[in-house]
Structure 1
């Protein structure tokens, strides 16, 4: 175990930087921490603070040489583990965006887009709202603290130098990608079903009255019905998104602890 005394400042600093690779990679890939609005200096300070905690409480064996093939391989191992930890959570956060894509196109507000502060890309306005709600639920459920705890505990289960993820764990991450689509469709199901029923009614009206202007009737009706259905379904959608956060944290824990 390395300390931070004066005789071994260089070795301690090297161990700290080595530990920060996994922590920094997790913060880059994870939601909230990986938002483009979070300054790089803040991420470095957080990674350094958690790295000091890890160095003093976990058996960390840093590479013996600074520039060597073994060092580069171990750094790649650390980056892979950190990216995997954050990527699992990022997969779950894609569920509300998939739901917003499905709902926005059926409600007629798919053209309403805004800049997502977490990714810096253009997303539907409804997806932005659901993403903010998901982020607030993540923070309310102490997801950020659980993520930090899992990163720290990962150094005991996956110590540096032996941190290659097994094939079954990589397969589990790939299969967890289907959860984003399943959760997104389940979020959109109640409101989408109501809008589908409305479209069936409008279709029957258009067959019985061919002179009826579908764009003048169907689009406002879909928008109004969708907004009312969203307002009614918000409590259930909030519970569903809280379940998504819990499932994502459980999948991350399974990746670390098995």
Structure 2
């Protein structure tokens, strides 16, 4: 028998106070970079989600009183998963931005064939994209970006309390439009190196037209590769300002997704 002091409403409140934040937090940790990659076992991510849920459960607002197995409880659970995945996707777009930029530069300069296995995602990516991924991961951790990400995520419990309402149609539409921001930012990041290598290729095309006996494949490829590496070295001087700008835009978008001005 259940003791008198442990009523069904009290048990439902306890379950909702911890289970729904766990769904939102676990969904966020399963998607975000660094923590949500294949390098981190699912048990570790789940344990971290449980630990953080226990810490933040007393700080979040009151949860709605609904039956544990009702249709409203299912809708609230799906809303928490959608919010966690949406905020995690906004942060994942920051990583994929630099991966796409590295792929664009590598394809233009002739390093597209030099690919390696990305242990985080389990796919083959160009070496330059993997170098960019490692660089931004180290910069993100060195700048305590993971702490800011968790701070912005915990703010979502106050801006978007646990309930029937979540991201809504406008939030899902903003997430879909975030893909265009990712590609546009990647093109802007890779445009100087791509344009420089493209000018070199045009120059060799003119030289081949003027001197057809010159072997463009034997001469143009290594020079274009060397010039592309030089362009990457020059662009690394402005790598940190671009990373700070895109990281700031990502956190602003995460707050905007929650309804903050």
Q: Which residue of 2 aligns with 1:3?
A: none
Query: Is residue 34 from structure 1 mapped to residue 36 from structure 2 by the alignment?
Result: yes
Q: Which residue of 1 aligns with 2:258?
A: 256
1:96 to 82, 95, 98: 98
Q: Identify unmatched segments of 5+ residues in structure 2.
A: none
Kindly state the Cα deviation for residue 257 of structure 1 after the two structures are TM-superposed: 4.2
Q: TM-score, normalised by structure 2?
A: 0.90
Give 4+ residue runs of structure 1 displaced > 4 Å after superposition: 6-11
Aligned-partner Cα distance in 2 for 1:66–1:257: 28
Kindly state the Cα deviation for residue 163 of structure 1 after the two structures are TM-superposed: 3.5
Q: Identify unmatched segments of 5+ residues in structure 1.
A: 1-5
Q: Which residue of 2 aligns with 1:51?
A: 53
Q: TM-score, normalised by structure 1?
A: 0.91
Is the 8 Å Cα contact of residues 150 and 256 (structure 1) preserved in structure 2? Answer: no
Aligned-partner Cα distance in 1 for 2:243–2:198: 23
Q: Which residue of 1 aligns with 2:85?
A: 83
For the residue of structure 1 that corresponds to 2:221, the secondary structure is helix
2:152 to 130, 150, 153: 150
CA deviation vs aligned residue, 1:201-248 (integer Å, no higher than 9, x gap): 101110011111111011101111111111121121232122211211
Aligned-partner Cα distance in 2 for 1:58–1:182: 37
Residues 1:193 and 1:28: Cα distance change in structure 2 (over 3 Å): same
**How many residue pairs are counted as aligned between the two chains?**
253
Query: Is residue 189 from structure 1 mapped to residue 171 from structure 2 by the alignment?
Result: no
Kindly state the Cα deviation for residue 151 of structure 1 after the two structures are TM-superposed: 1.9
Aligned-partner Cα distance in 1 for 2:232–2:214: 27
For the residue of structure 1 that corresponds to 2:258, the secondary structure is helix
For the residue of structure 1 that corresponds to 2:116, the secondary structure is strand
Is the 8 Å Cα contact of residues 137 and 242 (structure 1) preserved in structure 2? Answer: no
Equivalent residue runs for 1:168-247 within 5 Å? 168-247=170-249
Is the 8 Å Cα contact of residues 106 and 222 (structure 1) preserved in structure 2? Answer: no
Is the 8 Å Cα contact of residues 60 and 157 (structure 2) preserved in structure 1? Answer: yes
Aligned-partner Cα distance in 1 for 2:231–2:163: 53
Aligned-partner Cα distance in 2 for 1:62–1:125: 49
For the residue of structure 1 that corresponds to 2:196, the secondary structure is helix
Is the 8 Å Cα contact of residues 143 and 249 (structure 1) preserved in structure 2? Answer: no
Equivalent residue runs for 1:64-79 within 5 Å? 64-79=66-81
Is the 8 Å Cα contact of residues 112 and 125 (structure 1) preserved in structure 2? Answer: yes
Aligned-partner Cα distance in 2 for 1:163–1:27: 21
For the residue of structure 2 that corresponds to 1:56, the secondary structure is helix
Across the aligned residues of Structure 1 and Structure 2, the Cα RMSD in angstroms comes to 2.0
CA deviation vs aligned residue, 1:17-54 (integer Å, no higher than 9, x gap): 22110001111121112111011122112211221222
Aligned-partner Cα distance in 1 for 2:30–2:163: 21
Is the 8 Å Cα contact of residues 21 and 57 (structure 2) preserved in structure 1? Answer: yes
For the residue of structure 2 that corresponds to 1:186, the secondary structure is helix
